[in-house]
């Protein structure tokens, strides 16, 4: 009988040998963000560059420079059909000119969409080292990765000792793995620009909406992190989130986030993907309070709504006078993605005592452009429909659109626009017969 | 899409005009490929009259570039309009191709 150790030794190979079975036309899915496996991606890219592989279909979500510089490099774009399930800075340009295709989705549906719609030949991802019982951990990327690892024809894992071992439903047994490579490199880190002057006001307004004992979901980016810093005087907050980030670590260390008043997963910090700094990854490692689950669970609106006092905090690019929010397109091009925004907006909206908060700066381009617009422009995408919008926050105030009429919501939204644009927005609202 | 071909010494110059998109990419590919297959691997693509290029067009250029280079040849581009240049910039293709300001410069690039 094979022991985990002997099975590990039997499956351990080089990156080149591990990817040697990949054939032209194969569909490949790789682990998300910090779980992108650099050695395996480079080994596949080397084969493409050598002319051994053509017509690969590669699926990414929030691709980082690791995959953008290897398998999704511009010189391979004649041999690789690239699909992004959430567009990132690394591949935004390629998406803009049609060399990378965005796949619209709600994040909680991605495991199901990939399982049912893709015939996945190979999954490659990074995992934490195996324990004595033969289990790896998906670490920073549970999301869809744990699903595609189990519905592909061949699973290749890259063991990296820097990948944190986390708990929850994050374990992968050696018997499920086809090939193993070892490669130690620092995990990719995610950092955001420093705070803007408006962040101070927005952070305080949002913090006032969060009751003690609430369970938090914080979006991805600079503003949600600043908002987290304004919560330092709160008590017994909990975490049930899509993305676990460095700001949450600070709140845990300060004793603000304890999870003690959570009615689900009491005392545990629940997430599906982690994006942060080296210090954050170290904090997560072997920490029994860190529980990761597939995104089909963490982002399921019904599961989210089962958390009492669920507060979701996300950001948007613009909102129109009907209350329709665009969080993903800019200038008619796909800028990011729907991600889990609507999952959490709907979950928090339906939670007992819950609130969904969409925060944004009132202007863009140094105050020249209002982010509150009469109507979303041509090519703009509605990420959160008006029926779902709950709280909107800018540096000029807070409005609650739940159950408000078209007239009332137009006036509410204008009240938090930049003062320089309010008169023209009022005129437009009249022209639209909203007032 | 319009394609016109001429020869300058051992360099073949193909002028590509109009729209190079999903509908016309196969025709462009066939033309360039026939030259490369025949060993005519010193190619200049004059894009002066090219009005639009899609991802299909970009992929044809890249695939043929690789094929030509495999045979110690090259495909040099010239006379790009600003909107075409912008697409190449966004796609990261300006680093892959030698791009000349005019046809003479592109042709002389082969003797450098």
Q: Which two tokens stand for residue A235?
A: 């008590």
Q: Whole-model pTM above 0.80?
A: yes
Q: Are B91 and A78 in contact (CB < 8 Å)?
A: no
Q: How far is A361 from chain B (nearest CA, A)?
A: 28
Q: Which long-range contacts (CB under 8 A, 24 or more apart) does A4-7 make?
A: A4/A130, A4/A132, A4/A133, A4/A134, A4/A174, A7/A134, A7/A174, A7/A175
Question: Predicted ipTM?
Answer: 0.93
Span A288-326, pLDDT tens digits: 999 999 999 999 999 999 999 999 999 999 999 999 999
Question: Model confidence at A194, in pLDDT bands (50, 70, 90)?
Answer: confident
**Share of residues in chain A with pLDDT > 90 (%):** 93
Closest-CA residue of B relative to A93 is B90
In chain B, residues with a C-beta closer than 8 Å to the C-beta of A94 are 91-92
Q: Which two tokens stand for residue A193?
A: 């620009």
In chain A, residues with a C-beta closer than 8 Å to the C-beta of B91 are 74, 77, 93-94, 97, 99
Q: Which parts of A61-161 are beta strand (E)?
A: 80-84, 100-102, 122-127, 135-137, 154-159
- For position A197, what pLDDT does the model report? 83
Say whether B16 sits in a helix, a strand or coil: strand
Please state the rounded mean pLDDT for residues A263-268.
98
A266 CB-contact burial (10 Å; exposed 0-12 / middle 13-18 / buried 19+): exposed
Question: Model confidence at A193, in pLDDT bands (50, 70, 90)?
Answer: confident
Say whether B45 sits in a helix, a strand or coil: strand
Sign for the CA dihedral angle at A39, B64, B17, A82 comes to negative
Distance CA A415, CA A398 (A): 9
Q: Are B91 and A97 in contact (CB < 8 Å)?
A: yes
Distance CA A357, CA A350 (A): 13
- For position A2, what pLDDT does the model report? 84
Distance CA B73, CA B89 (A): 23
- For position A368, what pLDDT does the model report? 96
**Is the pLDDT assigned to residue A224 strictly greater than 80?**
no
Closest-CA residue of A relative to B84 is A97
Distance CA A427, CA A435 (A): 9
Distance CA A299, CA A86 (A): 15
Q: Are B63 and A78 in contact (CB < 8 Å)?
A: yes
Distance CA A55, CA A171 (A): 32
Say whether B95 sits in a helix, a strand or coil: coil
Q: How many residues does chain A have?
A: 435
Question: CB-CB: which of B54, B90, B93 is closest to A96?
Answer: B90
Contact in structure between A263 and A307 (CB atoms under 8 Å): yes
Q: Are B92 and A98 in contact (CB < 8 Å)?
A: no
Q: Is the CB of residue B30 less than 8 Å away from at least one CB of chain A?
A: no
Distance CA A228, CA A206 (A): 9
- For position A220, what pLDDT does the model report? 66
């Amino acid at each position: 009988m094979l022991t985990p150790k002997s099975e590990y030794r039997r499956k351990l190979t080089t990156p080149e040998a591990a990817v040697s079975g990949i054939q032209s036309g194969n569909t490949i899915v790789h682990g998300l963000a910090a779980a992108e496996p650099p050695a395996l991606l480079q080994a596949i890219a080397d084969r493409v560059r050598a002319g051994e592989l053509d017509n690969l279909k590669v699926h990414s979500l929030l691709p980082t420079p690791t995959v953008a510089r290897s398998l999704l490099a511009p010189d391979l774009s004649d041999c690789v059909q690239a699909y992004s399930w959430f567009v990132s800075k690394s591949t935004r340009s390629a998406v803009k000119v049609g060399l990378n295709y965005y796949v619209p989705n709600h994040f909680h549906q991605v495991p199901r969409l990939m399982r049912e719609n893709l015939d996945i030949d190979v999954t490659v991802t990074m995992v934490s080292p195996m324990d004595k019982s033969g289990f790896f951990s998906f670490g920073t990327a549970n999301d869809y990765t744990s699903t595609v690892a189990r519905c592909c024809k061949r699973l290749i894992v890259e063991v990296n000792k820097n990948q944190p071992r986390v708990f929850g439903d994050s374990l992968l047994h050696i018997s499920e793995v086809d090939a193993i490579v070892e490669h130690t490199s620092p995990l990719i880190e995610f950092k955001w620009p420093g705070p803007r002057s408006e962040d101070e006001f927005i952070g305080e307004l949002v913090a006032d909406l969060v009751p003690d004992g609430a369970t938090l979901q914080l979006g991805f980016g600079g503003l949600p992190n600043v908002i987290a810093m304004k919560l330092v005087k709160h008590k017994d907050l909990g975490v049930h989130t899509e993305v676990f980030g460095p700001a949450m670590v600070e709140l845990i260390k300060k004793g603000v986030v304890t999870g003690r008043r959570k009615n689900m997963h009491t005392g545990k910090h629940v997430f599906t993907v982690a994006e942060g700094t080296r210090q954050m990854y170290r904090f997560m490692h072997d920490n029994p309070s860190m529980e990761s689950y597939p995104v089909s669970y963490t982002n399921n609106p019904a599961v989210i709504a089962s958390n009492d006092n669920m507060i979701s905090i996300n950001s948007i690019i613009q909102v129109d006078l009907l209350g329709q929010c665009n969080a993903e397109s800019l200038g008619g091009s796909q800028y990011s993605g729907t991600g889990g925004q609507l999952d959490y907006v709907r979950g928090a909206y339906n939670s007992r005592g819950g609130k969904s908060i969409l925060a944004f700066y009132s202007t863009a381009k140094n105050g020249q452009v209002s982010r509150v617009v009469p109507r979303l422009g041509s090519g703009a995408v509605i990420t959160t429909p008006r029926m779902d919008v709950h709280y909107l926050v800018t540096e000029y105030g807070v409005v609650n659109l739940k159950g408000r009429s078209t007239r009332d919501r137009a006036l509410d939204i204008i009240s938090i626009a930049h003062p320089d644009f309010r008169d023209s927005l009022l005129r437009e609202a009249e022209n639209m017969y909203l007032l | 899409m319009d394609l016109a071909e001429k020869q300058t010494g051992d360099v073949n110059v193909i002028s590509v005009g109009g729209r190079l998109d999903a509908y016309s990419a196969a025709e462009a590919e066939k033309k360039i490929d026939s030259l490369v297959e025949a060993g005519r691997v010193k190619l200049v693509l004059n894009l002066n009259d090219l009005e639009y290029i899609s991802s299909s067009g970009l992929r044809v250029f890249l695939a043929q570039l690789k094929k030509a280079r495999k045979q110690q040849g090259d495909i040099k581009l010239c006379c790009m309009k600003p909107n075409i240049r912008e697409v190449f910039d966004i796609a990261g293709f300006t680093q892959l191709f030698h791009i000349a300001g005019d046809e003479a410069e592109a042709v002389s690039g082969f003797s450098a």
